[in-house]
Amino acid sequence: MIKSIKNTSVYKSSVLGNENSQAYLFYSFDKELNNNIALAFAKSLICKEKCGCESCVACQQFNSSSHPDVYILKQPTIKVDDVTKLMDKLNTKPISADVKVFVILNAENINEISQNKLLKSLEEPNSQNVFILTSSKTDKLLPTVMSRLTKIYVPKLTEQDKQILSKELAEQNVDISKYLNANFTLTEIINFETNEEYKNTLKNLDFLFSNLKTTADIPAAVSKLNNVNKELFFPLMQDLFLTCLNGEKKFEKPLTMLIDVTFNKKALAKCIPLVGEAYKKQMSNVNFGYILDNLLFNILKEKFLCK
């Protein structure tokens, strides 16, 4: 199990923002990795050294599932009663940590009624409470819930990554309390000064939306995409749309301006779940070209319907 969030792609290459966040979503296709990283992050928040040191009383309590300020839901099906019990603990003060940490693993298991119940707490955050959710199926989460979460895309770790991480943990104590003042998106989790796959995917998206005026443009535009990273393409597109919908300034200005001019807010809101479905199909080994063609057709349809 990964013991800390402090690996080079998730920690060192992060761009920290200035907005407080009380609710995080760790997401990727890898359920186990999502949960491990999220739990490591949760541990760091209550750790005396703010790094998941493994030595302090708080870390030991976390490891034994006995910390009084940490609440974890991980049932196969998360019902209204489960969320209600969690909500009942929101208005009490932390006992030994600076914050109370509420972790919901595999949040796609929360039914719609429970998500709406959770939404109220996300809309009215308390600085003493931090929510940490994970999901490998973000299309199962309500758009209203997604909009309230600081989204952290979890890159796939190679064995070499894990070895580097293990070595770092043994050698360093890093204060990550500043994560409480972070506003992450996928664009910020990747070091875009050095990550060629990220930069190339962004170029592909820029090319795609610059050359997509009608459905007749789809085949030519798709055929000219260069070295597509299929694992990154749909998550980055989804994050781009979410960023523009929320009025954030996370991407390069020309690209966000292009999206803002091409789509109004209503169209963006309609397109985000479509990208989520494409994201899901990509993991089911459906042909990438077919998925993208179909997605772009439906995106353009929403663009014209929402004028």
What would the pLDDT profile of 106-151 be if each residue is shown by its tens digit?
999 998 888 988 888 888 878 889 999 998 888 788 888 888 887 7
Give the position of tokens 């949760």: 42
Beta bridge partners of 130: 101
| 3-class DSSP state of 134 | strand
Stretch among 57-66, 89-98, 99-108, 181-190 having the lowest mean pLDDT: 181-190
The pLDDT confidence band at residue 17, using thresholds 50, 70 and 90, is: very low
Give the bridge partners for 150, in sequence order: 24
CB atoms within 10 A of CB 304: 10
In angstroms, the CA 119 to CA 146 distance is 9
Quote the Cα angle for 154-155-159, to 5°.
120
Least confident span in 108-112, 171-175, 191-195: 171-175
Partner residues linked to 101 by β-bridges: 70, 130
Q: What is the pTM of this model?
A: 0.53
Cβ-Cβ contacts under 8 Å for 34 (sequence gap 6 or more): 26, 27, 28, 105, 134, 135, 136, 154
